[in-house]
Chains A and B, each alone.
Chain A
């Protein structure tokens, strides 16, 4: 472990517990109010993977670093216990834009479950999103995943509770759980943690040991269908069954969705996903405008009326000028 990227746990003064996951607890840390949290593992971890992640960040150019910092809880520094084992990491806090202020309880991270269960979310103050905004959120996620893929990484636990979203000022996402990041060609010794209902069937059946790029396409497909099928979707709904009866999926996405949710390979690439999402957003935009017929009709009539008025006015003015000129000429002739 490089000394610059390592802190001793003794150096940290922990404050409030802010979250609890399946394998770690997250604390605020005194002196890091600017936005760092301490993720403390229940069991010591293999530091190799974490070292790689910290190195990837430091070796990336400034633009990539900025995107990674804005889009993921990327590990900033490793923290070791007294015996030198990796006991946790410092991770950046999600921006305030990713925090939901609900009508009950304290503020919470706004994860994708608030889109999946939008009727329930609406009851606590999270306003349901229109189709285009949902698609833009999924597109933002696909772009982050694609960037990770370009860095040779795979995000192993793609699931609703690990993806935060916002629409302020623009649709955007923030991925939690940096421990889900792994070099796609590595075979880590740590156990694989994934979420029930979100795991690639190839992993569950043992065809592959760890999630790979195709697993990410599968997860993205689940996120899309489950987001668009809200609030009627429930975890027991078979994904493919859902597509057949689902009107909410824009046409450009249906094929890629079916391809991603296959139990076997091949599955579409993230590049293909992004193209299809962009196409779907373009096709959905006019559809959404048409969902407000009175406003469109008024706008159209007003616009049409405006043009007609301007044409008539110009014509009247021209006639008036011509009449004036003719009258003037006639008056001059009469005066003579």
Chain B
């Protein structure tokens, strides 16, 4: 489906599928993905604007859903637990993927919002990720949101320089938090925002409503 003339918010859901996520955690994430698809279908303006890619990562990243109109996807691919948590490989991959998608969207004359990357993880990375992360932050120009297990070390999360960080507990499961966050973020596209107060550049914005995030072009 071509996106001629549309406004598009690319959303990249990067899901940690390392061995520790097996079982209930991944099942709840799959449930959240279905719920998100329903939300996009039920809200025509969001369905028209939001495009979603799903990337699972462990030893290596893999796109299981390329950037798509999720309301037209017949089935959401299943997530498969395997391997370790190689975050560096994910950031390298995301940087290339986002660049490629934005190039394609611009070629279709779409107006592209600053991409949103939601990174869901339950543990510390098992590789040397810092260089890839730095390059990603400098060139991808995406807004990074992290959803991490409550036990994940806070100092590591700070180093990710995410716009916002959310925690999930085994009690809630990652799916519920993911669902709440992604729906909250995307719904801000259709909310009223302040127009009479000066706006700070995004880099100076405190963590706040997603309107600070999405209302920017790349």
Contact = CB atoms under 8 A, between A and B. Distances in A.
A193 B5 contact: no
Contact of A160 (B5, B45, B195, B196): B45
Interface string B161-181: 000000000000000000000
A149 interface: no
A159 B197 CA distance: 20
B194 A192 contact: yes
A234 B7 CA distance: 8
A48 to B, nearest CB: 17
B35 to A, nearest CB: 8
B215 interface: yes
Nearest to B42: A105
A162 B194 CA distance: 16
Contact of A105 (B39, B48, B195): B39
Dominant SS among interface residues on chain A: loop
A22 B7 CA distance: 20
A116 B44 contact: yes
B44 to A, nearest CB: 3
A105 B5 contact: no
B41 A193 contact: no
A304 interface: no
- Size band of the interface chain B makes with A: 20 to 34
Interface string B27-64: 00000000000110111110110000000000000000
A203 B195 contact: yes
A20 B191 CA distance: 9
A22 B193 contact: yes
Interface string A281-307: 000000000000000000000000000
Contacts of A194: 192-193, 195
Contacts of B197: 191
B195 A121 contact: no
A269 B41 CA distance: 37
B111 interface: yes
A117 B47 contact: yes
A151 to B, nearest CB: 22
B211 interface: yes
Contact of A120 (B5, B39, B47, B192): B47
Nearest to B189: A196
A104 interface: yes
Contact of B44 (A121, A195, A203, A236): A121
B101 interface: no
Contact of B41 (A124, A160, A204, A237): A124
A33 to B, nearest CB: 25
A324 to B, nearest CB: 72
A161 interface: yes
A105 B191 contact: no
Contacts of B184: 20
A164 to B, nearest CB: 14
B196 A117 contact: no
Interface string B10-34: 0000000000000000000000000
B82 to A, nearest CB: 32
A76 interface: no
Contacts of A160: 45
B196 A234 contact: no
Nearest to A209: B196
Given A20-B184, A20-B187, A191 B196 contact: yes
A98 interface: no
Contacts of B7: 234-236
Interface of A: 20-23, 102, 104-105, 108, 113-114, 116-117, 120-121, 123-124, 157, 159-161, 177, 191-196, 199, 203-204, 209-210, 234-237
The 7 A-B pairs with the shortest beta carbon distances in the complex, nearest first, are A117-B44, A22-B191, A120-B44, A193-B192, A192-B196, A22-B192, A104-B38
27 contacts: A22-B192, A22-B211, A102-B42, A105-B42, A108-B42, A108-B43, A113-B43, A113-B45, A113-B190, A116-B45, A117-B44, A117-B45, A120-B48, A123-B41, A124-B41, A124-B44, A192-B194, A193-B192, A193-B195, A195-B190, A195-B192, A195-B193, A196-B215, A234-B6, A235-B7, A236-B5, A236-B6
